[in-house]
Amino acid sequence: MSEKVLYVDDDANILAAYRRILRKQFDVEVAEGGFEGLETVTRRGPFAVVISDMRMPGMDGIRFLAKIKSIAPDTVRMMLTGNADLQTAIDAVNEGYIFRFLTKPCPKETLVKAVEAGLQQHRLIIAERQLLEETLNGSVKVMADVLSLVSPIAFGRAVRVRRYVRHIAEKLSLPNIWEIEIAAMLSQVGCVSLPAEVLEKVYAGQKLAPDEKKMFESHPDVGGRLIVNIPRLEDAAHMIARQQEPFSWDQFRDPVHNRDSVALGGQILKVTLDFDLLVSRGLSGESALTELKKRPETYDPQIVEAIVGLEISPAENRRHAVNVSELAPKMILDQDVFSRKGGLLVTKGQEVTLTVREYLRRWSNGVGVEEPIRVLIPVYSMETETVAAGAE
């Protein structure tokens, strides 16, 4: 994909002139005024560099570039103006996060060098973001893999809850879905500090001894402290730490989109985790939802209502018995999976992911896995997934 440059000015003659100057060396587009510039970025973006005039009717360059910062944060922004007073420059840099501030008339050589520098800056921004994302994704995968090895019960719960969280976040049109999904996937990391028998009692609904109850209640804080030092996961870590906090009606007075994202994420985790506990103890999804609705003092009614329509497993599926080598993504385990020595590896109801499949294959190649395994396969993807599994 080419690196595009957008020049914005309210004067059509100036736009034509600068387009002639830049088009031989760059993939350049122009827009007349700030509003047309925003529409161009929205419809024809992304743009690596946006250059804007300062004095434009309706929306000046500072406001325009500040909006560009909001909708296209990776775009490098530059200001060009004939009014080079100090306060204008300060406002442009502080509010529009300007990379370069140029004055009219701007010589061709100066403008070309500025655009080249802007493109180089854009490449650095993209490279840094990609590196950070790869590091972040790698860190999350390692943490999830460790959880799957140490506590299959907790890992299975995290995978299911991630699916529930995605459903709720999409239904509520939340902006930070990725962050809440990661918080869900890592919500049970603190359980690595718990004995397996404590988790088994929790999921079975058995009464915990006082010391066991204290241990279980500490796992969100443990998980939050494990995650908080990973770059960009600070908010997710705080969501994890607050996953057991009861709902506050003070929060409910504000619309979902106006609430503190950490508090909202923590409440979504609480609702989905408790919903999953009820389902794991034998309730249907509808019955579990009814139970949550009976406790409006504990659960945010808007979040609980967003569960409506959630499928515990795909609505149309077929039950099959497969070997570990035939497992494929999107299948749902219809039974607990055990090693040949009797150890629980993965719990019933968990969706097969690449991590789950690789985990079971490692056990199959070592100690061995009790086969065949009952799975639910969505009708629409059964043929595709089975072929994919057999081809590997």
41 contact partners, CB below 8 Å, separation of at least 6: 6, 47, 50, 68, 71, 72, 75
CA nearest 280: which of 153, 144, 150?
153
Q: Decide: helix, strand or coil at residue 248.
A: coil
Residue 1 has pLDDT above 50, yes or no: no
Tell me the backbone φ, ψ of residue 390, rounded to 5 degrees: -70, -20
Residue 195 has pLDDT above 90, yes or no: no
Q: Are 176 and 259 in a shared domain?
A: yes
From CA 70, how far away is CA 96, in angstroms rounded?
10
Residue 369 has pLDDT above 70, yes or no: yes
Tell me whether residue 76 is in a domain.
Answer: yes
Tell me whether residue 354 is in a domain.
Answer: yes
Calculate mean pLDDT across residues 22-28: 91
Q: Are 278 and 389 in a shared domain?
A: no
Query: Per residue in 112-147, pLDDT tens?
Result: 999 999 999 999 988 887 777 777 777 777 787 778
User: How high is the pLDDT of residue 101?
Assistant: 84
Q: CATH code at 123?
A: 3.40.50.2300
Worst-scoring range by mean pLDDT, 122-131, 181-190, 253-262, 355-364? 253-262
Calculate mean pLDDT across residues 74-103: 75
Q: CATH code at 173?
A: 1.10.3210.10
Calculate mean pLDDT across residues 183-200: 88
Residue with the bigger pLDDT between 347 and 113: it is: 113
The total of other beta-carbon atoms located within 10 Å of residue 281's CB is 12
Q: Are 12 and 59 in a shared domain?
A: yes
Which class for 317: exposed (0-12), middle (13-18), buried (19 or more C-beta within 10 A)?
buried
Residue 85 has pLDDT above 70, yes or no: no
Angle at 133 between CA 131 and CA 137, to 5 degrees: 120
Q: Are 369 and 271 in a shared domain?
A: no
Q: Are 162 and 274 in a shared domain?
A: yes
Residue 283 has pLDDT above 80, yes or no: yes
Query: Per residue in 222-270, pLDDT tens?
Result: 999 989 888 788 999 999 999 998 887 665 555 565 567 888 899 999 9
Most confident of 57-61, 132-136, 270-274, 340-344: 270-274
Helical residues (DSSP H) of 247-378, grouped into ranges: 249-252, 261-280, 285-293, 301-305, 354-365
User: How high is the pLDDT of residue 255?
Assistant: 58
Q: What rounded mean pLDDT belongs to the chain?
A: 83
From CA 379, how far away is CA 386, in angstroms rounded?
11
User: How high is the pLDDT of residue 319?
Assistant: 81
- Residues, the chain, total? 392
